[in-house]
Amino acid sequence: MTFSGIGYDLHRLREGCKLMIGGIEVPFEKGSVGHSDGDVLSHALCDALLGTACLGDIGTHFPDTDPRWKGVSSLLFLDHARQLLEDRRLHIVHADAVVICERPKLGPHFPAMRAALAKSLGVAAEQISLKAKTNEGLGEIGRGEAIACHAIATVRSH
C-alpha cells in the first residue's frame, strides 16, 4: 500500500534573521521569522510526512509554545517524523516540494538542500524533488515579505 500526504507552510521574512531553507542557510538580506529556525521547506515537508500516517501536523508534535523547540534546526522535526513513520513500518518513497519566494534564486542551493533533507529522512537525494516559483510580484510573497512552501510525500508499507 502507498499513502500520500500534503503540507503547506508560510513564514514572514525580516531583516536580521537567518534564511534557513531545506536545512541549509541561504545567504540573503532577510530571513524567516519563526520559533524554530523558520525553515519553511522542512516544515511543509514534515506536515506532508505526518499526513501520510494521519499523525496530525507539526504543531501537534512541536508546539511553538514549547521552549525546547526555540531556535532548533527543523531537520530535527524531519528526523522525528521519519521515526514515527518507521515505527509504523512506513518507508518514504518520494517527496516533492515547491518553494515560493520572490528572491533569492533558490535553484543553485537545491543540491545542498536535497542532500540535507535526504540525510535527515534516510533516503537518497534522488527521492527528494525541489522546485522554486516566484509569486509574479503579487501579494505578500511578491513584495518579499513572506516565503511559502507546498509539499507532498509518498510512503509505502510492507
Total residues in contact with Mg ion, by rule CB under 5 A: 2
| Residue found under cell 509518498 | 154
CB of 158 to Mg ion, least distance (A): 31
Using CB under 5 A as the binding rule, whether residue 47 contacts Mg ion is answered as no
Instruction: Report the residue closest to Mg ion, judged by CB.
Output: 43
Using CB under 5 A as the binding rule, whether residue 9 contacts Mg ion is answered as yes
Element (H, E) at 80: helix 75-87
C-alpha cell at 77: 522535526
> Based on CB atoms, which residue is closest to Mg ion, 59 or 137?
59
Neighbours of 65 (CB within 10 A): 7
One residue of 43, 82, 114, 150 binding Mg ion per CB under 5 A: 43
φ, ψ at 133 (rounded to 5°): -135, 155
Q: Which of 58, 138, 128, 153 is nearest to 101 (CA)?
A: 138
The interface region with Mg ion, picked from 4-12, 15-23, 88-96, 139-147 by CB under 5 A, is 4-12
CB of 50 to Mg ion, least distance (A): 13
For binding to Mg ion (CB under 5 A), which residues are involved? 9, 43
